[in-house]
Structure 1
Amino acid sequence: MPKKNFSQSNFFLIFSYKGYLIRRLAVDLIWIAIPTTILCTIHELGHVNIESNFTLPGLMGAILGILLVFRNNTAYDRWWEARKVLGGLVNTSRNYALQINQLLPDSKEKTEILNLIAAFPYVLKEHLRSGVIYIEIEFVGEEISNELKKWEHVPNGINQLIIKRLKTVYERGEITDFQYLKLIENSDELIDIMGKCERIHKTPMPQSHNYLLKAYIYIYAIIMPLGLIENLEWWTIPAVIIIYYVAMSIVTISEEIEDPFGKDPNDLPVDNIANNIYKNIQEIINK
């Protein structure tokens, strides 16, 4: 087994990832540390004897646990559904390319269709982000790129161009009626995959739910020292910070994975998937 260097070790990966979350939550951690420190200072200097039964913080903690489980599960369901949809994109793209490569005779249309199939994942992923990056699909050629730039919905444009070229091949009598219809079914499948991705992307969790959960976590972190300060004393400060950090980390990760097509650390590797589909199709062409 090859020896891993330190940057590949589990220890490094765990702490580098936690460092990313700490950077995102740094301001929140400071804000939660301030009132906790004030309470501990007042209690330890003897100005006010802060004592509280742990029943209220414990009850609030149980409710918070239920809310966090619900929040995490709903976000993970979206992430997992998106992963299955992208798996379907990989399979459909490969099948489509294999069928085109075997059924169509060598021609300009065949080459263009294969390049358009390879371009579809690149176009789809950026359609779900901030807009198509045409340099990623420069292999389709300048003529097709200019045609696609006329479309506001570029994934639809790619499918339209594929169908046009299939129709041209069919009208020349190079494929049968049955073959033409079977190939069109693959374009229908690409449209279906695109629609599922758009549904996940354009249906976020209600913002009121996120705000309520974050407010609840903050209130819980403010009340929690009342049940800990008598026993933990100054150690109440790091205890509250750690508990708040864990709870808000779950919320932060959930916010990332509910729309898993972006570039956050917890999002799906959409760029790698698009690159792998392109490589697979190029291998099909060259064999």
Structure 2
Amino acid sequence: MLIVQNIRLSRVLLDTWKVDVIMIISCTVAYFIREYLIAYHFEISAIIPTVLGTAIAFFIGFNNNQAYDRWWEARKIWGAIVNDSRSLARNLINYVDDEEAAKRMVARHISFVYALKAALRDTVDEIYTKYLTEHDKNEVESHNNVHNAILNIQAMELQKLYKENKIDGFKFMEINEMLVKLTDSMGACERIKNTIFPTTYSYLTKVFIWLFVVTFTLVISQDMGVFSIFMGWLIGFVFVSTQINGMRLVNPFYINASGLPLNSISRTIEINLLQMMNETDIPEPVKPINDEYIL
């Protein structure tokens, strides 16, 4: 997630340079076609790029709004996970009459957070095994959905504590409700990750931008000559950079500068819960990369 107020132009150019090269080539070809073929026969009406520009504005606006909605929903979900994690740990530490079991469940929850993060990012992150017992590790190895398996182990141990009268019925229900909330958050994250953004919108937006750049260059070359190549690229750059930056939010869990800082959020939960257990081996918070963004 970007943490700076202003984005460096070099970063924008780094993200768009391939498209920029294609646009420059397209503008150059369009200029020579008009100069040596079309100019001798007819003039191109300015209404064509005008209509295309309007269509592009609608498509980019829709794409970016929907992409931001996905990103913001994911951020709210992980905000809820942070709050529910603290509440769960507080309830376990203060309500369960078995200190060792309570700490074991809190540590297991840290494992759940890291397992969920790894699954959402499609990465191989074995840090979650750090907070699991050998029995838990063997249990989750047989499951494709590791984070769900961890929650299931939590529920089984909670039931065991209740049967052993180490927690009363009301507190049992309250802690179980926290596990239900975490399951809801987990499912919401999986829904966002597994729901593909409509490819037709992003594809048509790219096609319309390319058509717009070409027709715009054809029209203004009638007055600006060779300088129309630069102007065609410049106007196209505005549309392309806006569209690319918006579409980077479509997959909020991916590892990029615009994605959610899941590393930082997970580490924050880990630090908070370890401190609640009065542990001394506390990891450092995740630091920003180049003071520009945080993962």
- TM-score normalised by L of structure 2: 0.85
Q: Is the partner of 1:260 in helix, strand or coil?
A: coil
Is residue 277 of structure 2 the alignment partner of residue 258 of structure 1? Answer: no
Match of 1:15 among 4, 9, 15: 9
Pair 1:37 & 2:36 matched: no
Encode CA deviations 1:130-181: one digit per residue, 9 max, x unaligned: 2552234413344322322221111111111111111121111111111111
Whether the aligned pair in 2 keeps the contact of 1:96 and 1:186 (CA below 8 Å) is yes
- Tell me how far apart the structure 1 counterparts of residues 78 and 88 of structure 2 sit (CA, whole Å): 15
Match of 2:112 in 1: 120
Say which of 263, 266, 271 aligns to 1:274.
Answer: 266
| Structure 1 counterpart of 2:50, one-letter code | G
How many residue pairs get matched? 276
User: Which range moves more in the overlay, 182-191 or 54-63?
Assistant: 54-63
Q: Is 112-121 or 245-254 further displaced after alignment?
A: 245-254
Amino acid at match of 2:101: E
Deviations 1:8-57 (A, max 9, x none): 9867x4124213313xxx33322222232133346667994574332221
Contact 2:98–2:166 (Cα < 8 Å) also in 1: no
Within 2, Cα distance between the matches of 1:251 and 1:236?
Answer: 22
1:172 to 147, 164, 172: 164
Measured in 1, the distance between the counterparts of 2:161 and 2:101 equals 7
Tell me if the contact between 2:75 and 2:260 (Cα under 8 Å) persists in the aligned partners.
yes
Q: Per the alignment, in what secondary structure is the counterpart of residue 204 of structure 1?
A: coil
1:196 equivalent in alignment to 2:188: yes
Task: Choose the corresponding residue for 1:230, options 191, 203, 222.
Answer: 222
TM-score normalised over the length of structure 1: 0.87
Aligned to 1:243: 235
> Aligned in 2, Cα 1:47/1:184: closer, same or farther, shift over 3 Å?
closer
Residue 214 (structure 1) aligned with residue 201 (structure 2): no
Q: Tell me if structure 1 keeps the 8 A contact 2:31–2:218.
A: no
1:148 maps to which of 140, 147, 156: 140
Unaligned runs of 5+ in 2: 280-295
Kept in 2: contact 1:51–1:229 (CA 8 A):
no
Q: Tell me if the contact between 2:253 and 2:259 (Cα under 8 Å) persists in the aligned partners.
A: yes
Match of 1:163, SS state, is helix
Note closer, same or farther for the CA distance 1:277–1:58 as it changes in structure 2 (3 Å cut): same
Q: 1:132 to 1:179 in 2, by over 3 A?
A: farther
Report the AA paired with residue 32 of structure 1: M
| Contact kept in structure 1, 2:110 and 2:131, CA below 8 Å | no
Contact 2:121–2:254 (CA under 8 A) maintained in structure 1: yes
Distance 2:38 2:72 in 1: 53
Opposite residue 132 of structure 2, the aligned amino acid is V
Q: Distance in 2 between matches of 1:66 and 1:90?
A: 36
Q: How does 1:27-66 map to 2 (within 5 A)?
A: 27-41=18-32, 48=39, 51-66=43-58
- The structural deviation recorded for 1:281 is 0.5
Match of 1:3 in 2: none
Q: CA deviation at 1:235?
A: 2.2
For residues 208-265 of structure 1, the C-alpha deviation after alignment (integer angstroms, 9 at most, x for no partner) is 2222221111111111112211233222112222222222223323332112011022
Q: How does 1:61-80 map to 2 (within 5 A)?
A: 61-80=53-72
**Change in 2 beyond 3 A, CA 1:121/1:146:** same
The Cα of 1:72 is off from its aligned counterpart by 0.6
In the alignment, which residue of structure 1 is the partner of 2:288?
none
Q: Deviations over 1:257-278 (max 9, x none)?
A: 1120110221111111011010
- Counterpart in the other structure of 1:5: none
Letter in 1 for 2:8: I
Greater helix proportion: 1
Structure 1: gaps (5+ residues): 1-7
Contact 1:134 1:145 in 2 (8 A): no
Query: Do 1:123 and 1:132's aligned partners in 2 also have CA atoms closer than 8 Å?
Result: no
Secondary structure at 2:8's aligned position in 1? helix
Distance, in Å, in 2 between the alignment partners of 1:45 and 1:159 is: 69
| 3-state SS, counterpart of residue 258 of structure 2 | coil
Instruction: Answer yes or no: is the 8 Å Cα contact 1:124–1:155 preserved in 2.
Output: yes
Aligned with 1:221: secondary structure?
helix
Identity %, equivalent residues? 27
